[in-house]
Amino acid sequence: MKKRAGQVTLFIILAIAIIALIGGYAFFRYQAAKIPTRFAPVEQSFIDCVQVRMGQGAELLGGHGGYITPPVFEPGSQEYPTSNQLDFMGDGVPYWFYVSGNGIMKEQVPTLTSMQTQLSNFMQDALTRCDFSEFRDRGFDISLNVTKVTTTIRTSNIRTSVDADLVMKFENDSAVISTHTTQINSNLGKFYALALDVYNKEKQAAFLENYTVDMLYLYAPTTDTELSCSPKVWLLENISNDLKNAFESNLLFIRPGSTNKYYNLDVPIQSGENVRFIYSKQWPTKIYTPSKNGLLIVSPVGKQRGLGILGFCIVPYHFVYDIVYPTLIQIYDDKEFFQFPVNVIVKGNKPREALPGTAYEQQTQSVCQYKNTRGQVYTYDSDLNPIQADISFKCFTEECPIGTTEIVGDKAVLDTMFPQCVNGQVTASADGYTEASSTVSSNQEFDTGLILEKLHTLKLDVKIAGQPATENVMLYFTSDNNNQVAYWPDDKTIELSEGFYNITSYVYAGTSITLPATTTNTCIEVPRAGVLGYFGATTEKCFDAIVPEQIISNAIVGGGVSEEYFIEPILKSSSTLEINIDSISTPKSLDDIQKVYDKMSREKVGVMLR
């Protein structure tokens, strides 16, 4: 009995020991997994940094057609002046479809996978600059080693998983967190999908080219026969200017859901989404038709020997044009936007054929990989207070993210290594401020200071003759460091910083305008008759130039200019920018159109902050 009792006791002791071991193991595992409360704010700070970098990367993708690192720059030519990137307000935006300098149609449409890869690469570099100085100042020992970033762009959000050892120590406590997952709300995925719908419709249906052909026949001499015994003469430069003005004004009316069937784009969009097509006559544009010294001259038929029996003269003409110009397509709501440009191509008065584009393979940039020169960048606001800002460095067409200035005392400074480049550009950017740039040569050690101006969001209140404007109004605000464009009534706000602005406004009428036929007397130099003509002698010959009746569906009917200096205190205390255009007038003739343009250059636009 004693022996059996001893055996039972032994088994009980062994069972208790096993249970204790299992319990101890579970306890220690729980303790290892549990993060001390004092380290939770550090992890949250890192998550906040991840979200900020995600937003910055998404903004870069949206503003650059789905690219953070652009394709290698490919220049245009005299024949095809557009390169593979559109210079939009000083920033290169890669074309999704373009004509290369040697006349080959190409595509460079990013995939969702490539966008996610570029965003992950951007974040992996940017996360190394997350700021833990607040905690280090309180005695925390923090180190961060980012090994992998994976991003997933969804319809309404972006999800990121970061493999990074965040090692935290304070007094006798320590913790390591290796996996961090978070997401932000973003329409990048939805806007990219809508951009593909618009692009594929343009690629297959060439609707921009069809609009262009309509404008060509409306605004330029193409094919017609007129009764006249005098030559017809057009200046190619004037034709080009008329077409560029037509592209600039008419493309803005193309949009999904337009009440005007002609301008309605059959692409489904959701409430709050907008699609806009933009062209600027300052962008590289080709408008070509055969001419003689820039003149299009057609001689009358009926005055020649043997044709007098006709009893009248006719001037038949047929001009064939080749046109290539860029159009920037913007998809946006009140918070985000996605944009990409395409080339519009008309050959021989006909839209381009739906030819398959040549895929353009992205190439890896090299300049950013070699950072071997020390540089110091200081960033301030307009009151010379230190301000934290993201720093990038541009060498030729390559832009490298460098880091973020950190506030130390009364300075915000980034002291780090830069790629070597002669006349490179250092740029500082911060939310709510204008960008600031300076040119430096980083082939030797350098330092530079940048001042960022505060941006103030103001409501727009556009009036014509003191009454709320019901017409479409294009507003341009141009300054040294802040260029803004607003299209009223779609755009209800504008962001302005302190500085001097040139303000230009164009009012477009929404009704058709009939320009009646006109006749003007034109004189040109022609060779003299007889022997003197062989020796270069000329004489003046005058004839009537007849312009047939034209119908213009939209035209500039008013506007004006102003020069204003906005100062920081008034911007800060104001909520609304009022623009008051004196009057508008509907042109009835070509002379009236010229008078509208002449009046605009002299007309003062009322500008008031309130």
**Residue-level pLDDT at 522:** 56
Q: pTM of this prediction?
A: 0.55
Strands (E) located in 252-369: 274-278, 286-288, 295-298, 314-318, 322-332, 337-347, 350-351, 358-359
CB neighbours of residue 156 within 10 Å: 11
Q: Strand order in 398-404's β-sheet? A: 398-404, 390-395, 424-429, 436-440
Alpha-carbon separation of residue 2 from 11, 12, 450 (angstroms): 14, 15, 91
Least confident window among 52-66, 197-211, 308-322, 590-604: 308-322
Tell whether the model's pLDDT for residue 279 goes beyond 80.
yes
**Residue-level pLDDT at 371:** 87
Least confident window among 16-25, 31-40, 247-256: 16-25
Tell whether the model's pLDDT for residue 512 goes beyond 70.
no
Contacts of 529 (CB under 8 A, 6+ apart): none
Contacts of 105 (CB under 8 A, 6+ apart): 97, 98, 99, 345, 352, 355, 357, 358
Tens-place pLDDT, residues 128-184: 999 999 999 999 999 999 999 999 999 899 999 999 999 999 988 899 999 999 999
Tell whether the model's pLDDT for residue 430 goes beyond 50.
yes
CB neighbours of residue 349 within 10 Å: 18
CB neighbours of residue 15 within 10 Å: 10
Give the integer Cα–Cα distance in Å for 17 and 24: 10
Least confident window among 120-129, 133-142, 361-370: 361-370
Stronger pLDDT, 112 or 360, i.e. the higher one: 112
**Residue-level pLDDT at 589:** 66
Tens-place pLDDT, residues 520-534: 565 655 445 544 443
Q: How far apart are the first and last CA of the chain?
A: 102
Q: Token pair of 91, please?
A: 């920033």
Q: What is the C-alpha R_g of the chain? A: 33
Task: Provide the CATH number for the domain formed by 456-512+553-609 in this structure.
Answer: 2.60.40
**Residue-level pLDDT at 304:** 45
Q: Token pair of 162, please?
A: 């970061």
Asked whether the CA dihedral 371, 374, 375, 376 is positive or negative, the reply is positive
How many percent of the chain have pLDDT more than 70? Answer: 81
**Residue-level pLDDT at 586:** 74
Give the integer Cα–Cα distance in Å for 368 and 365: 7
Strand pairing report for 576-581 and 424-429: unpaired
Determine contact, residues 236/291, Cβ cutoff 8 Å.
yes
Tens-place pLDDT, residues 449-483: 999 999 999 999 999 999 999 888 888 898 888 88
Stronger pLDDT, 543 or 377, i.e. the higher one: 377
Give the integer Cα–Cα distance in Å for 65 and 156: 18
Confidence grade of residue 272 (pLDDT, cut at 50, 70, 90):
confident
**Residue-level pLDDT at 309:** 38
Tens-place pLDDT, residues 170-224: 988 899 999 999 999 999 999 999 999 999 999 988 999 999 999 999 999 998 8
Give the start-to-end residue ranges of the domains of the chain: 37-186, 189-361, 383-452, 456-512+553-609
Determine contact, residues 38/139, Cβ cutoff 8 Å.
no
Tens-place pLDDT, residues 101-117: 888 888 999 999 999 99
| Mean pLDDT over each residue of the chain, to the nearest integer | 83
**Residue-level pLDDT at 94:** 96
Report how many helices (DSSP H) and strands (DSSP E) the chain contains, helices first: 9, 38
**575 φψ region: left (φ > 0), alpha (ψ -120 to 50), beta (else):** alpha
Q: Which residues on adjacent β-strands are paired with residue 43?
A: none
Q: Amino acid identity of 36? A: P
Give the integer Cα–Cα distance in Å for 418 and 416: 7
Q: Token pair of 224, please?
A: 């017609």
Q: Could you identify the residue written with the tokens 């006798």? A: 172
